[in-house]
Structure 1
Amino acid sequence: MKIIKSLIFEKKNWISALGVSALVMSCSDNSNVYGILNKDKSINYKSAFEFIKKNAILNFHISAAGAQEQDSKFIKDEDIKENIELSYNKSKELITSNAISDYSFINFVLPYKVNYSNDFNWRKKVLKNYELPKNYTLNSEKAVIESTNYLNNQIKSLKIPYSDPYPQEDYWSFNNLLQEKKGSDIALVNLASYINRANGIPVTIDYAPVWGNADGGKAWNALVIDQKKSYPFAGGVDNVGVFNPKKIINSLKDTINNSYTISKVYRRGFIPDTTSVYLKYYSRLSKMGFTSTYSDIDVTDKYTKTIKYNVNGFYNDKTEVALLSVFSFNRWLPIAAISPKNKQMVFDKVGVGALYLVHTEDDNNSKKSLFYVNKEGKLLFFDKSKRSKIDISQTESVTTKLRNLAINNRNSPNIQPLVNKAIDTKLEDGVSYTLYKLTDSSWEKQETKSVVNNKLSFSAQYQDGIYLAALEKDNNINSKRAFILIGGKVVFI
C-alpha cells in the first residue's frame, strides 16, 4: 500500500509543528497517560479535547487539488466535541466492561480521522447506514469479534468489485467510498475502519508496504483489543478467524509453498511519535518512497518471526540516516530507517526469510551490508571467496507462481487443481535458459544452458551475487524471480 504525499511541510509549518512536540505524546506509550479516561472509566472531555486539538497539528489530509494540508487549520472545535461525544458513547460499554483497553479506545476509536481525507464529520453519516443492532451487548472480547464480523458481512453484501489501486483511494471519505463502489484492498479496509470505529470498535489498518518474495504489498484490517492482542481481517472479504495475511491462496494448506514473506508490517496510528526518525527527517525520507510515517506502529512481530540488526561499529554518530531495504521483485525498496546520529543503532523487528541491504542515502560512497535472514532467524552473509554450481528444477519460486495464479483467478471456484499443477510444474528437457547476474542495477548475461532430465545446471558462480534464469530469447527478464547462493544452495528471494 503506497501512500503518495505531496507538498512536504513548508519550513514555517515544520518549525511550528516541532515546537509543540512536548505537548504531543508518543504512540509508544503503554498506559493511559493522557488523562482522557478517569479511574471509573468515564471520559474527561477537557483532556480529550486538548489531546485531539494538539495531535491535529501533526496530522494531515489531502485536499481535492492534491495538496497536503494540516488538519488543525481546518477541523473546527465543534467537530472535535461531536467526535468525542459520539466515539465515547459508542465505546462506553466496551470500556467499562474491559472488553477493550484504554489504549485501543484512545488510539483507534477516539481519533477524528481514518485515512487522509478531510472528512471530519463521518460518524453520523456511517451510523445512518451501518449501525449495530440494539440487541448487541458489547461486554466481552467474543462480542467485539462477533460485532466486527457482523459489520464486515454488511460490507460483503455490497459486493464491491476488486479493481487495481487508484492513487486517491486512501484520500476518499466515507461518502466517496460508497459512491465509488469499487476499489482495491485499500478502499475496502478504509470502509471497514470507518464503519467499525463509528460503532465504537477499535479497528485500524495494518499494511505490508513490500513483501519479501512477491511484487507489491497489501493492506488489511486489525481489530485491536489491547496493545498486545489484535486480530487481522480483510474488510469486505474475510472475517476475523478466517483471514490470514500471509496466505496467497486460502484454499491451499501447504503453507511452505503458499505464504508471503513479511519484511515489515506497520499499523496505522494517530498519535505522532516525536522521537521518530520519520518525523525528524520527514522531508528526506518521504522523497525516497517511504510509506511508513511518524504515527505508524511497527507490528511486524505480530505476523512473523523477527530479528534485530545492530549497525553499531558499522556507522558512527555522524551518520544522520541509515536505511534498511529489502530485495523485492528484482529491486531494492526501503522499508525502515534509523538515525545513528540520534543514538539509534538497531533495526528492530526485521522479518525472516528475505534478503536485506543496509545502506545510506549516498549509495555511491556509503558502507553497505548485504545479508539474508533464513526462516529460522539466522543471519547469513555472503562469502566472496567461494563458488558454487547452480542446479535448479524451477526458474522461479513456487510463491511467485501461486501469486500470479491468484491474481489471474481471483474468483475461480476450482483453484485447487490449478494450484497443484503450478506446484508440480517441471522444466521441459531441451529448452534453453540464460543465467543473469545483477551488476550495478542491471542484469548481465553469464551463460546459456539447456534443461537435462528436468534440471538446469550452470557452472560455478561466486556466492556473493544475485542471479536469475530466463528463457534464452526472453526479453522480459525483470518479471522473473531472482535467487542467491547461500552455503552452496540456491535460495529464491
Structure 2
Amino acid sequence: MKAIVIISVLFSFAFFTRCAQHPYPEEVRQALELAGPNRGELEKTLEHYRQTGDSLKLKAAFYLIGNMSDKGYFIYTLKDTAGNEVAFNVLDYPDYRTMVAAWDSIAAIRGELDFEKKEFIKDLHVIKSEFLIRNIDLAFEAWQKKPWARFLTFEQFCRYILPYRGSNEPLEDWRSYFYEKYQWLDSAFASSNDVAQIAAAINNDLKSWFKFDDRFYRHPTDQGLKEMLRNKMGRCEDMANLAIFAMRANGLAVTSDYTPYWADAANNHAWNALIDPSGRAIPFMGGLFNPGAYSLPNRIAKVYRKTFEHHKENLIFKVKNRRKIPRWLAGKSYIDVTTQYVPTANVELTLEKERPDSVRFAYLCVFNSGEWKAIHWAEIKEDRAVFTDMGKDLAYLPAYYLDQTIVPAGPPFILQKSGNILKLIPDTASTATLKLISTMKRITTQATDSKKKSFLENGAAYELFFWDGDWQSLGTKEVRQNQPLVFEKAPSNALYWLVKKGSKKYERIFIYRDGEQVWY
C-alpha cells in the first residue's frame, strides 16, 4: 500500500512538473479544476498526447476539455402540481393523439403536468480517458483518410467532426459504430469528393430504419444511439443527432441548426446542415430529406447553430445568471447563422416602456404557441436597442425579461420585406368592421409543427382579441350557417388573434388589410 501511494505521489509530481513547464490554456485549467474526482481521467488524456508527441491531437484534446464545462446529460422527472412524480411513457400509446388524450386525462385529475430537471450528469465528472482518446483518434482517422474530408481546416474539423456529442443525449461511443458500419463508402466513393452525394448515401440508409414520430414531443430528453437503435423513431432533435453521429464518424462536416421558435407557427425545430468545400451550409433533415432536397416549412426570425466551443459574445457571459436569461438564449455554445438562410435587417428601436432598474438587455419576441417568446437580445443604450439580422416579413414584440417573465417594452410591429417597421398601435378612435372567415390551425409536417388555413367551424364559438399591452377581448361569437363572424368597432391598425373556445391557443395572429386577414 505504501508503495502504491509513493508511486501515485511521484506520478502526480512528475505530471504537474510537466504542466508547469508546458502550461495549459486557461479554459483547460479551469475545466480540470471543475472536474473534481474525475480530473485524473482528463489528465491521462492530455498526458497521452503529450507522450505521443502529436501536437495537433493535443490541441484537439484542449478544444474538447476546454469547452466541456457545460456539456452533459439531463435526467428529467414528470411532476404534477403537487410536486408528485408521474409515470408516463410516450410509447405506451399507439399515436400522438391517443398519447395527448391520456396526458390530459391525468392532468384533469392531478393538475398540470410538467417535466422538471432531476439531475445533470456533467461530462467533466464522468467522461473516461479511453472514451476521449478513442473519439479523438477516430475523428482524426476520418479527417485524414477520407478523401472528401481533406478540404477541412483544423478549425472546421474541431467544430464539425471532432465533438463527441450532438446535444444533451447520453454519453455513448457512436463514432466506432458508424465508422465500421459505413466502411463501404471508401470503395463506393473512392474517386469522389462530392460531400452532398456521400451524405445522401448515408442518409438513405438512415431513412430505411429511423422515422419521425410526434409522440416524442413529450419525451423529455434527446435520445442516445442505443435508445434510437431500439426505438427506431424520434423527434427532429433525434433525427439531427443521428445524422451527426453517422456523418461525422465518416469525415463529413455536419452540424445541427435550429430555430428556438417558429415565427409563424408553433413549437421549434432542429435540422442538419452539411458544410461543403466552399464553406456553404446545405440544409437537410437526417433520416428524412437529403442535402439539396429540403426546404424549411415555416418562416424564420432566427437560426442558430449548435457548436461545441463556447462563444464569449453570447449573453450568458454578460449576465452569468441563467435564471435572468430566457431559456433558449442562455447557452454558451451557439452562433447566429440567420443570414445564411433568409434576408435579414437590423432592427433599431426606442423602447417606449420605462426600463426597470438594473435591466441592461432587451429582447425581440415572436408569437408562438399562444405566447410571446424571446428569440434575440440586444444591449440597451440610452433606451435604444439594435437587434441584428432579424428575419423579415414577421411580427415581433420588444420586451424586457423580469422574474422569468416576458414584459412588453413597446408595441408589436411588422418588420416588412423592405426592412421598414410598421408599428401596430391600436387606434380606438378609428374603428373598423372585421369579417372573419378563417383561422390557422396547427399541423405536423416535415418532422415539425406547421400551420394550415382552416375555415371557421359551424356552431363553434370564437373569441377575438387585439393587442394593447396585453390581449384585450373584443367578445365571443358563434359561427352560424357557415357565415363570417362580424366584429364591429374593432380598433384599426391592431394586431388580432382569433381563438376557438376550448382550443390549445395555437391559432395564429393577423392584421386586417383591405378586408382580408393577413397572417403572421
- Normalised by the size of structure 1, how large is the TM-score? 0.73
In the alignment, structure 1 segments of 5+ residues that lack a partner are 1-17, 25-41, 248-259, 411-418
Aligned partner letter, 2:266: D
Q: Kindly provide the CA deviation profile for residues 41-68 of structure 1, in whole angstroms up to 9, marking residues without a partner as x.
A: x971222222222112343333588422
2:420 corresponds, among 369, 375, 378, to 378
Q: Aligned equivalents of 2:192 and 2:386: distance in 1?
A: 38
2:338 corresponds to 1:300: yes
1:277–1:339 contact (8 Å) kept in structure 2: no
2:175 corresponds, among 123, 131, 154, to 123
Q: Aligned equivalents of 2:446 and 2:281: distance in 1?
A: 28
Q: Aligned equivalents of 2:207 and 2:164: distance in 1?
A: 25
Aligned counterpart, 2:430: 387
2:345–2:392 contact (8 Å) kept in structure 1: yes
> Cα distance 1:47–1:303, how it changes in 2: closer, same or farther (>3 A)?
same
Aligned partner of residue 466 in structure 2, secondary structure: strand
1:265 corresponds, among 303, 307, 310, to 303
1:390–1:458 contact (8 Å) kept in structure 2: yes
Aligned counterpart, 1:62: 74
Aligned counterpart, 1:172: 223
> Cα distance 1:312–1:236, how it changes in 2: closer, same or farther (>3 A)?
same
Aligned counterpart, 1:47: 59
> Cα distance 1:470–1:205, how it changes in 2: closer, same or farther (>3 A)?
closer
2:518 corresponds to 1:491: yes
Q: Kindly provide the CA deviation profile for residues 202-226 of structure 1, in whole angstroms up to 9, marking residues without a partner as x.
A: 1111112211111112221111236
In the alignment, structure 2 segments of 5+ residues that lack a partner are 1-24, 32-53, 78-117
2:305–2:334 contact (8 Å) kept in structure 1: yes
Cα distance, 1:375 vs. partner?
3.6
Aligned partner letter, 1:182: M
Aligned partner of residue 404 in structure 1, secondary structure: strand
> Cα distance 1:122–1:338, how it changes in 2: closer, same or farther (>3 A)?
same
Aligned counterpart, 2:375: 335
Q: Aligned equivalents of 2:144 and 2:182: distance in 1?
A: 19
Matches within 5 A, 1:349-364: 349-362=389-402
Aligned partner of residue 69 in structure 2, secondary structure: helix
> Cα distance 1:357–1:95, how it changes in 2: closer, same or farther (>3 A)?
farther
Q: Aligned equivalents of 1:102 and 1:408: distance in 2?
A: 33
Cα distance, 1:120 vs. partner?
5.0
2:361–2:380 contact (8 Å) kept in structure 1: yes
Cα distance, 1:490 vs. partner?
4.2
Aligned partner of residue 67 in structure 2, secondary structure: helix
Length, aligned pairs only: 428
Cα distance, 1:171 vs. partner?
3.6
Aligned counterpart, 1:112: 164
Matches within 5 A, 1:213-224: 213-224=264-275
> Cα distance 1:286–1:88, how it changes in 2: closer, same or farther (>3 A)?
farther
Aligned partner letter, 1:389: A
Aligned partner of residue 64 in structure 2, secondary structure: helix
Q: Aligned equivalents of 2:277 and 2:356: distance in 1?
A: 37
2:143 corresponds to 1:91: yes
2:28–2:66 contact (8 Å) kept in structure 1: no
> Cα distance 1:139–1:223, how it changes in 2: closer, same or farther (>3 A)?
farther
Stretch deviating more after TM superposition (291-300 or 61-70):
61-70
2:348 corresponds to 1:348: no
1:432–1:450 contact (8 Å) kept in structure 2: yes
Q: Aligned equivalents of 1:370 and 1:21: distance in 2?
A: 44
Point out the structure with max Rg over C-alpha: 2
1:430–1:451 contact (8 Å) kept in structure 2: yes
Aligned partner letter, 1:278: I
Q: Kindly provide the CA deviation profile for residues 312-364 of structure 1, in whole angstroms up to 9, marking residues without a partner as x.
A: 78779953232221122431111122344899943212112221111212379
Q: Aligned equivalents of 2:74 and 2:151: distance in 1?
A: 34
Matches within 5 A, 1:62-461: 62=74, 66-93=118-145, 99-137=151-189, 143-160=194-211, 162-166=213-217, 170-225=221-276, 228-245=279-296, 247=297, 260-281=298-319, 283-285=321-323, 288-290=326-328, 293-311=331-349, 319-340=359-380, 345-362=385-402, 367-385=409-427, 387-392=430-435, 394-396=437-439, 400-401=440-441, 404=443, 406=445, 435-438=464-467, 441-442=470-471, 444-446=473-475, 448=477, 456-461=485-490
1:263–1:350 contact (8 Å) kept in structure 2: yes
Q: Aligned equivalents of 1:334 and 1:165: distance in 2?
A: 24
Aligned counterpart, 2:20: none
Stretch deviating more after TM superposition (277-286 or 354-363):
277-286
Cα distance, 1:392 vs. partner?
4.5
- The higher-RCO structure (CA 8 Å, 6+ apart) is 1
Cα distance, 1:395 vs. partner?
2.3
2:142–2:149 contact (8 Å) kept in structure 1: no
Aligned partner letter, 1:371: F
Tell me the percent identity: 23
2:478 corresponds to 1:478: no
Aligned partner of residue 468 in structure 1, secondary structure: strand
* Structure (1/2) with the larger strand percentage: 2
Q: Aligned equivalents of 1:454 and 1:45: distance in 2?
A: 70
